[in-house]
Amino acid sequence: METPKRLAAIVLAAGDGTRLKSRFPKALHRVCGQPMLIHILNVLSELKVERTIVVVGYEEQEIRVYLKDNRELQFFRQSERHGTGHATEIGMQGLLDWDGDVLVVNGDTPLITYNTLLALLNRHRHLEADATLLTCELESPEGYGRVLRTDDNSVLSIVEHKDANRYERQVREVNAGFYCFDSSSLRDALKEVQPHNVQGEYYLTDAVKILVDQGGRVEAVVADDSSEILGVNNRIQLATAEKILRRRIMDRHMLAGVTILDPDTTYIDEEVEIGQDTIIRPHTILQGPCRIGENCRIGPNAHLVSVVVGERARLEDCVLRECEIGEGRRIQPTRVPGEPVAP
């Protein structure tokens, strides 16, 4: 049986916070309690990536300090930003001896899932492609690079929106910004990438056309859920990503046996664990690594931050931080005589 090719990853995280109106690196802005970069790294960990390169730039020291305990990461600095092709070439400095596949992903796309990247990797390997990209079909593809295909449905090229003509802009299949390359093919293509475009940048997307022109095979996987490719460039998009991920988190808990009476007024961070048959009432916020036992009643109006709650506890109208609540304990406000008590 043939041994699967090894897998490395390059995470492009050199973006600044200009459009977010922030002094912090874009990749450290939080979605559901975790920096966007952590969401990406968690998915890569699930994929069993052997080596991960993080390309940093703006306020890089903050990223390095935040990830200082992750000894498996390597950091490379993009001092001047000259496009995704330039950033990828810098990342490849950490993979000079690498013989295998290389995933290239963006550090500001917190909604991508394990299953989607696994599908990308599997198609790439099954078809023995030189490159495989993730695409998506959008009703309004404004701003996205368009994917042009050949008669046999393989990928011909990617045309950035600013460089596309009026016919190419009618194409609704867009580049999602996630790639899987054969390492040798990527090295060869990056040598040929030139900044001959409106932006004067080195586009990683040009590597696709270069590989095709060299007789290479480039394939694509269409994502089922367009929300997964959402990049965060401003606070509106940050709020949109938060809302989508928050709903995913609550759906996961409900499918695991937790009752959430009003998802629209409930906020649960990614790290939270909740036992079966627990009921979460309206206006409840669970932040940080909360651990809620089975058969609890949390809320209404409960705000817990990094709290451990034992089984059968009843908590409402309270704010608790970094503490432990024993089994069966009740924390409730003083009630007026005759006022009904929630079950």
Mean of all residue pLDDT scores within the chain: 92
Architecture of the domain whose range is 7-229: Alpha-Beta Complex (3.90)
Closest CA to 73 of 42, 99, 96, 101: 42
Q: Which of the four pLDDT bands, split at 50, 70 and 90, describes residue 20?
A: confident
For residues 126-150, average pLDDT: 92
Q: Which amino acid appears at position 41 of this protein?
A: L
Q: What is the pLDDT of residue 337?
A: 59
Q: What is the pLDDT of residue 336?
A: 57
pLDDT confidence band for 1 (50 / 70 / 90):
very low
Largest CA distance in the chain: 82
Tell me: pLDDT of 342 over 60. Answer: no
Q: Which residues contact 133 (CB under 8 A, 6 or more apart)?
A: 120, 147, 155, 158, 175, 176, 178, 179, 180, 208, 218, 219, 220, 221
Per-residue pLDDT tens over the stretch 319-341:
999 999 999 999 988 665 565 65
CATH topology match: 7-229 vs 256-331? no
Distance CA 288, CA 277 (A): 21
Predicted local distance difference test score (pLDDT) of residue 90: 95
Query: In the predicted model, is pLDDT for residue 343 greater than 60?
Result: no
- On the CB side of 259, how many CA atoms lie within 13 Å of its CA? 11
Report domain extents, the chain: 7-229, 256-331
Least confident of 30-44, 74-88, 89-103, 119-133: 74-88
Q: Give pLDDT tens digits for 29-82.
A: 999 999 999 999 999 999 999 999 999 987 888 999 999 888 789 999 998 888
- State whether the Cα torsion 131-137-141-146 is positive or negative: positive
Per-residue pLDDT reduced to its tens digit, 171-223: 999 999 999 999 999 999 999 998 877 777 888 989 999 999 999 999 999 99
Mean pLDDT within 293-312: 97
Say if residue 11's pLDDT is above 80: yes
For the chain, give the secondary structure using H, E and C.
CCCCCCEEEEEEECCCCCCCCCCCCHHHCEECCEEHHHHHHHHHHHCCCCEEEEEECCCHHHHHHHCCCCCCEEEEECCCCCCHHHHHHHHHHHHCCCCCEEEEEECCCCCCCHHHHHHHHHHHHHCCCCEEEEEEECCCCCCCCEEEECCCCCEEEEECHHHCCCCHHHCCEEEEEEEEEEHHHHHHHHCCCCCCCCCCCCCCHHHHHHHHHCCCCEEEEECCCHHHHCCCCCHHHHHHHHHHHHHHHHHHHHHCCCEECCHHHEEECCCCEECCCCEECCCEEEECCCEECCCCEECCCEEEECCEECCCCEECCEEEECCEECCCCEECCCCCCCCCCCC
Q: Residue 105 above 50 pLDDT?
A: yes
CA-to-CA separations, 93 to 20, 90, 260, in angstroms, rounded: 30, 5, 48
Q: What is the pLDDT of residue 162?
A: 85
**In this predicted structure, what is the pLDDT of residue 3?**
62
Q: Please state, for a pLDDT cut of 90, what percent of the chain lies above it.
A: 75
Looking at per-residue pLDDT, the higher value among 276 and 20 belongs to: 276
| Percent of residues, the chain, with pLDDT higher than 70 | 96
Work out the average pLDDT over 151-162.
88
Phi, psi for residue 167 in degrees, rounded to 5: -75, -40
Q: What angle do CA 225, 227, 229 make, to 5 degrees?
A: 95
The pLDDT score that the predictor gives to residue 2 is 56
How far is the C-alpha of 323 from the C-alpha of 320, rounded, in Å?
7
- For domain 256-331, give the fold: UDP N-Acetylglucosamine Acyltransferase; domain 1 (2.160.10)
